[in-house]
Amino acid sequence: MSWKNYGITCLAVAVFTAAVILLVPGLAEALEVRLLTFLSTNASG
């Protein structure tokens, strides 16, 4: 992939990711719980 197309792809992925998190109900909270669980598990290890 050319670097120009790669940049466009990255931008599209970023926008899509942000949109999904912001617009899908409950997803943000679910992700945060998962992240907290992951951090807690690894912090105690």
The residues, any chain, with a CB within 8 Å of residue 26's CB and separated by 6 or more, are: none
The nearest distance, CB 45 to other proteins, in angstroms, is: 16
Contacts with other proteins, residue ranges (CB under 8 A): 1, 6, 9-10, 13-14, 17-18, 21-22, 28, 31-32, 35-36, 39
Tell me the HSE value of 27 on the side-chain side, using a 13 A CA sphere: 9
Angstrom distance (rounded) from CA 45 to CA 39: 10
- Smallest distance from the beta carbon of 16 to other proteins, in angstroms? 9
CB of 4 to other proteins, least distance (A): 12
